[in-house]
Structure formats: C-alpha cells, structure tokens
Amino acid sequence: MIEKGNIDEMLNGYIDGELSTRQMTEIKRLIRNDQQIAEKLKELQKCKVLLQSLPKEQAPAGMMDDIKAAMERKTLLSSETLSFDQQQGSKHLILRKIASVAAMVVLMAVLGAVVYMVVAPQGRSVEPTVSEPIALAPTEPAAVVTTAEPAKEAVATVEARPFYARLELKTSQLESIDAVIKKSIAEAGLTNKLSGASEQSKGLYVISCSSQNLSLLLAQMQRNWNKFKAPTLVVNSDSSDKQIKVKDVTTNQIAEIVGSDTLEGSLETAREFALLNKSGIGGLLGNQEMIVDDSTGNDLTAIPKRIPKPKLTWDEAAKTADKDSESGLRVYLTIVVEEIQNDNE
Amino acid sequence: MTETANIDAHSKWSSGKPVSIDDATLVKRYRHGDSEAMETLIIKYQNRIYNTVLKICANPDDAAELTQDTFVKVIEKIEQFQGRSGFYTWAFRIAVNLTLNYCKRGVKIRFTSLDAEIDRADSRVKGALRQFLTDDNVTDPARIAGTNELGELAVKALMALDDTHRAVVVLRDVESMSYADISRVLEVNLGTVKSRLSRARNNLREILEAFLK
C-alpha cells in the first residue's frame, strides 16, 4: 500500500510526466478506484495550471546595455584594485628580495663555517716537524700537533713516528771506508738524503730516508761489511733515556729492524737481535738466514723464537725503492765511523 | 522534459529569433574572445531568467537587478564553468541562488500578511477563483491567462510560500524545468525536489482555498 506522502508525490509526478511506466499504471489505477485521490489530482492540476497561466514577463529593454555597463564598472574597479595590488605587490616583492638576500647571506655564512671546520684545520695542519738529526744521539722530537686538530690527526701523527738509530762502526782505514760508504750512499741514490754536514766531514753520515731506501744502502754496504769492526746499532727506544744496542749487527738485521711497518715493531725486532747477538747466536749466523731450532740442545729459553723475514737482494730492494721510495718507516740513521789505530785494537 | 526540449519550448519568447547554435559552442567561442557569443547567450536566456526571478522575488526592479547580476556573474565565472551540467542549468543555479539570498536578506521584499490579502480580495476576485477551482473543464492555462484577478491571486499565493518551496514550484510550473534539472539548479537530490514540490502545491492549494473563506 502506498503511503499518503508518496501518493502526493506520485500524483505530482503524474501531472508533471515524471513517472515511470509502472508508476503511471499504478497511479491511474488508484485514480480510477479512489475518488479522493482523483479529487486530489484535480486540485494539484489546478495549482499547476494557475501558475502556468501567469504571464511570462519580458526582461526590461536595455538589459544587455545594463549588463555591459555593470561589467565596465567592475572592470574599472578591478583595474583600480589591481593598481593598488600592484603597488602592494611591488613592496612585497622588494621585501621578499631582501629576505632572500638575507637568507642567502646566512646560508653562505653557515656553509662557510662548516667548510672552515672541515677543511681549514686540515689546511693549517702542520706536518710533524722533526729537527734534523745532526747530533750523534738525536733526541726524538715530539710531533707538533696543533690543539685545534681533531683526534684523528693526532693518531695519524703518532703512527708516523720516525725511527732513530745510530750505526757505530770502527775501522783502521777511515779514508778508504769513507769512500766506500759515500759510494754506497751514491749508488743507493741517497746522496740527496744525506745532511749537508755529512758530506763535508769524514766518518759521520746522517741519513734521513725511508726504510726501503735504507735497505738499498745496506745492500750496497754489505759487500764491504767485513771491513767494519764491531758494528753496533744503537736504537732510540720509546723512552728517550733508554737505548737498545745491537752489537755485531749485520746488514740483514738492520734491514729487518727498519723494515717493520711500525716503530714499535722495529724496536721489538731490535731488542730480539740485541739478545740474540749478545748470546752469540746472531754472530754465528752472521748474514745467513737464521733458523731457530730447539732440537740443537742450546738453552734458547731466553731467546725469542722468531723466523726472520726474507732478506731483500739488491735487485729486489732497488725495485721496491723505485716503486715506492718514500714508503715504509721513516728512518733517521746516523753512521759513525771511528778510526782505530790497527785492526787488532 | 530535457534541457534541450526546454530551450526549444521557450525559444519563441526567449529571444525573438531562432537560436541554432548550442550553448556549449557559444561558451567555447566566448572563451576564445568572441564577445558576441556571450551576447547571444544573454539574449537567449535573459527573459526566462528574469521571469523566473520575478516570480520568486515578486518585484520587477529587483528582478531586473538580480537578472543583471546573474549575467555579470556568469561572465565573471565563465572560466570556472566546466560543462558538467548545461549552461542553462548553470546560469539558472546562479540566478536562483542570488534570488534566494536576496529573499533571505528580506530587506526589499515586504510581504503583506495573508489575512490582509484575503480581506482585500473582493467578491469579484473570490468569484473568479471559486469558479476556477470548481470548474473541472478549466485545464488550459491559456484560457485563464487573461484573467487578471486570478493572476494577482496566484502571485500572492506564491509569495505566501516559503522561499525553497516557491523556488521549486516556480522552476517546475513557470519555467517548466524537469525534476532532474531542478535538482541540479537547487543542488538537492531528486527526492528532495519531489517532496518540496508536493508540499509546495499542497500549501498553494490551501492558500488559495483560504482566499475563498
């Protein structure tokens, strides 16, 4: 059953022609069968007809002109507003430009500060300054580290600590030995590594070079090593008041000592050779490959068990030196040749 | 009745000359700088919009002003017209919204009370209304269009309706707009259009009967 409200809407839809075919059929049936609905339909139709009968009024003449005039007024007003807006816009634009410049200045300042913090300290960083070791027992200079440098720099400086040593040689033929040593230095290409004072004097050679270059020199000197008496390598240890003396040192031992990657390694090697040579084993082995064997029956409990690194030949040393002449530990070696009266002394 | 059918039905009195170009083309031409296209649209719809606005606000001067405002707004907002609905319903939506807002302000529209109107209705007018309501044969609007008394009463009864009911019944019975177009113009759903129209006609009937008492 259709509700009254719905019937009214359907009756309106019926007179307006807005019903579907099914609705139209249903409402027609209701109209036929229900007198009240039929009366209602007539009332609604009367209302519709009454309103439809109202005269259709024409728009006033000159509507088009009025619209155009209104548009012109609007355009004029909007152009005035635009002019005002443009003035405001110019001011706003200037302010924005000033703000942009200020922002850029601040940004540049911040960037500059960041770059200064990152780059400038590195630019100002001073290479570890080392005094030229012209003294026989040069004091190991402290690496100069500016307080502004980051901790990383300090670590790098510590790792780059040089190796200081003094090689003491004795001979009764100072003239010829001096010539031999200088020739060896020249052949090793270390003439430019020699301090100025060394070139003038006899028996004193202060060399500043890499461990690789020193190996080259040692390879040259090995040929005449038997002309030296009691060669002793004096190594400055960590503590400046303590020295490691490696007596009867061989060129291979020196090469191995300076061949270590770190200063600590070199000092440790020097200690071991000092102990070995003191016990006489190192002297017996001389420049031969050293093999430690407990089966010999010797009391080697106090002697470190070590397998030395393979020794460099002249060619190998030269190749390595050519390839990376400045690599390895930085070595400051002072060679002191003391003249003695005769070989028997 | 479709939008196109509505345009055709009113073409005789809307512009006075046949309009062969459809609204979408005219809008497109206006957007491309053809100002005559907008003039064509204004000529096409000015009478219909004015008539509808006048039936809702009941004041010729206000109706003229509201119609003018409608077309000014149409010109201003034409770039926003996306063509989802027809230009016809879009323009009527602007017109009806402007008119209903104007009615809500209630500044210029001065309604006299229904009782006062009833009192002033003389016996001649009452007689004409009674005959109209009781005569089952009077179903042709053209037959009673010349009866001034009925027309005046119809306008007064119409103005006695509230704004939303008046708008929907004017759009339907004066402008002959379809329910679908009414829902687009008033931006309400179809069910609301039906219920408002039903209530508006019932109220109108009651108002007319009140004139006879």
Q: Residues A141-172: pLDDT tens digits?
A: 433 333 344 444 444 444 467 788 888 888 88
- C-alpha–C-alpha distance, residues A197 and A189, integer Å: 18
* Among the partner residues A51, A57, A59, nearest to B154 by beta-carbon distance: A51
Q: Does B13 touch chain A (CB under 8 A)?
A: yes
Query: Taking the CB of residue B103, how many other CB atoms lie within 10 A of it?
Result: 22
Q: Does B50 touch chain A (CB under 8 A)?
A: yes
Q: Does B144 touch chain A (CB under 8 A)?
A: yes
pLDDT of residue B61: 92
pLDDT of residue B53: 95
A187 or A280, which is more confident? A187
* Among the partner residues B133, B150, B198, nearest to A12 by beta-carbon distance: B198
- Phi, psi (5° rounding) for residue A244? -105, 120
How does the average pLDDT of chain A come out, rounded?
Answer: 72
pLDDT of residue A322: 47
pLDDT of residue A150: 40
Question: For residue B209, what are its two tokens?
Answer: 């009967």
* ipTM of the modeled complex: 0.82
**Nearest to residue A216, comparing CAs of A337, A308, A290, A325?**
A325
Asked whether residue A64 carries a pLDDT value surpassing 60, the answer given is yes
Chain B residues in contact with A12 by the CB 8 A cut-off are 194, 197-198, 201
> CA A129 → CA A73, A81, A238, distances in Å?
86, 75, 18
Q: Given phi > 0 = left and psi -120 to 50 = alpha, else beta, which region is A286? A: left
pLDDT of residue B121: 60
Residue B92's contacts (CB-CB under 8 Å, 6 or more residues apart) are B49, B52, B171, B175, B177, B181, B185
Q: Which of A20-24, A220-224, B205-209 has the lowest mean pLDDT?
A: A220-224
What are B127-170's pLDDT values in tens digits?
A: 777 777 777 766 666 666 666 677 888 888 898 999 999 999 99
Enumerate residue ranges in chain B where pLDDT < 50. 1-19, 108-110
* Among the partner residues A11, A48, A59, nearest to B50 by beta-carbon distance: A59
A-B CB pairs within 8 A amount to 126
Best of A4, A40, A54, A64 to substitute, by most chain B Cβ atoms within 10 angstroms, is: A54
- C-alpha–C-alpha distance, residues A187 and A174, integer Å: 19
- Phi, psi (5° rounding) for residue A169? -125, 150
DSSP A289: P
Q: Does A55 touch chain B (CB under 8 A)?
A: yes
Return the residue of B nearest to A38 by Cα: B136
pTM here? 0.50
- C-alpha–C-alpha distance, residues B59 and A192, integer Å: 115
Q: Does A38 touch chain B (CB under 8 A)?
A: no
A80 or A96, which is more confident? A96
What are A280-293's pLDDT values in tens digits?
A: 765 444 444 433 34
Asked whether residue A33 carries a pLDDT value surpassing 60, the answer given is yes
